[in-house]
């Protein structure tokens, strides 16, 4: 399968064909010195739920470290793993779960968790169906959309539903959490399970119904360099930067939790 170079801007449907938008950035090592010569290009594969926050983070990285071009390509974590396995030309990877990253141990450097997240129930604006809890999703009259089981958000959602013995029959299972969000935004679904940060990015389009912590799961986002990178120092610098106070402030502002 050819490597899709696609970037999805805020609110755009994930996996839609689009021109790549590039963000200029460069890496720096621990003492703040540039770790890549000007003209270096980096490609970062990232989970679709990072689309909005990485646009902001990329702009900040560009301002702090001019000289290296970094391109983000967003997709479901399972699709990113397939791209890596097929030898897609990329330099770093950020997934929405440790399971996917662990499965790529032979292809990556040591991963570092840069953020965490939780699921919420996304409904149409104003919550027209008056959904109040995770149990309500079992109502056969509701059109519920979930991420597919191989997608991290799909696995997290299954954990939540199975733990409560809630039988939900989704009208569709989507290839990414952003595709779930899009279905709800477009009115093609009454509800869906998405990350808290996805719902926050769609304020004014969807409502978010919190799932109590005791019923929820924590999603971890590990970042790692790819061993196939031709720009290993610059890739390592970018991955390290994601754990810096400045990058973490951007992630917190977008609703991501501390690592």
pLDDT attached to residue 38: 63
Q: Please give the average per-residue pLDDT across 243-252, as a whole number.
A: 97
Query: Residue 35 pLDDT > 50, yes or no?
Result: no
- Element of type H or E holding 74: strand 69-75
8: its two tokens? 């999805």
Instruction: Determine the Cα–Cα distance for residues 67 and 27; give it in Å rounded to an integer.
Output: 9
Identify whether the C-beta of residue 195 lies closer than 8 Å to the C-beta of residue 120.
yes
47: its two tokens? 């989970």
**Cα 2 from chain centroid?**
21
pLDDT attached to residue 36: 52
112: its two tokens? 């570092």
Identify whether the C-beta of residue 194 lies closer than 8 Å to the C-beta of residue 177.
yes
With 0-12 CB in 10 A as exposed, 13-18 as middle and 19+ as buried, what is 245? exposed
Class of domain 118-218: alpha beta
Around 255, how many Cα atoms within 13 Å sit in the side-chain half-sphere? Answer: 18
Query: Residue 17 pLDDT > 50, yes or no?
Result: no
- Element of type H or E holding 219: strand 218-225
pLDDT attached to residue 213: 94
Question: What pLDDT, in 10s, does the model give residues 143-182?
Answer: 999 999 999 999 999 999 999 999 999 999 999 999 999 9
The model's pTM is 0.82
pLDDT attached to residue 64: 87
Question: What pLDDT, in 10s, does the model give residues 181-197?
Answer: 999 999 999 999 999 99
115: its two tokens? 């953020």
Query: Residue 16 pLDDT > 50, yes or no?
Result: no
Instruction: Determine the Cα–Cα distance for residues 169 and 138; give it in Å rounded to an integer.
Output: 7
What are the domain boundaries of the chain? 22-116+221-253, 118-218
Query: Residue 84 pLDDT > 90, yes or no?
Result: yes
22-116+221-253 and 118-218 in the same fold: yes
- Residue 51 — very low, low, confident or very high, per pLDDT cuts 50/70/90? very high
pLDDT attached to residue 41: 84
- Only one residue has tokens 């396995």, namely 85
Which of the pair, 61 or 135, is modelled with greater confidence? Answer: 135
Q: Count helices and strands (H / E) in the chain.
A: 8, 10
Query: Residue 123 pLDDT > 90, yes or no?
Result: yes
Identify whether the C-beta of residue 168 lies closer than 8 Å to the C-beta of residue 161.
yes
Fold of 22-116+221-253: D-Maltodextrin-Binding Protein; domain 2 (3.40.190)
Is 259 in a helix, a strand, or coil? Answer: coil
pLDDT attached to residue 20: 32
Instruction: Determine the Cα–Cα distance for residues 93 and 106; give it in Å rounded to an integer.
Output: 13
pLDDT attached to residue 229: 95
């Amino acid at each position: 399968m050819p490597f899709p170079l696609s970037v999805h801007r805020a609110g755009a449907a994930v996996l839609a064909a689009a021109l790549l938008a590039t963000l200029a950035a460069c890496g720096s090592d621990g003492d703040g010195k540039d770790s890549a010569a000007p003209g270096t290009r980096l490609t970062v594969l990232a989970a679709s739920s990072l689309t909005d926050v990485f646009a902001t983070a990329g702009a900040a990285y560009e301002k702090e470290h001019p000289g290296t071009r970094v391109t983000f390509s967003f997709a479901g974590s399972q699709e990113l793993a397939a791209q890596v396995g097929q030898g897609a030309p990329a330099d770093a990877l950020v997934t929405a779960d440790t399971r996917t990253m662990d499965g790529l141990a032979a292809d990556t450097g040591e991963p570092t968790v840069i953020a965490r997240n939780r699921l919420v129930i996304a409904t149409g604006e104003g919550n027209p169906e008056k959904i109040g809890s995770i149990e309500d999703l079992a109502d056969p009259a509701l059109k519920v959309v979930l991420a597919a089981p191989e997608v991290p958000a799909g696995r997290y959602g299954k954990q939540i539903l199975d733990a409560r013995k809630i039988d939900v029959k989704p009208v569709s299972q989507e290839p990414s959490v952003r595709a779930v969000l899009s279905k709800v935004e477009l009115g093609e679904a009454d509800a869906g399970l998405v990350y808290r940060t996805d719902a926050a990015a769609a304020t004014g389009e969807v409502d978010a119904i919190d799932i109590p912590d005791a019923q929820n799961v924590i999603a971890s986002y590990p970042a790692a360099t790819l061993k196939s990178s031709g720009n290993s120092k610059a890739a390592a610098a970018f991955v390290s930067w994601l754990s810096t106070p400045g990058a973490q402030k951007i992630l917190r502002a977008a609703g991501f939790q501390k690592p």
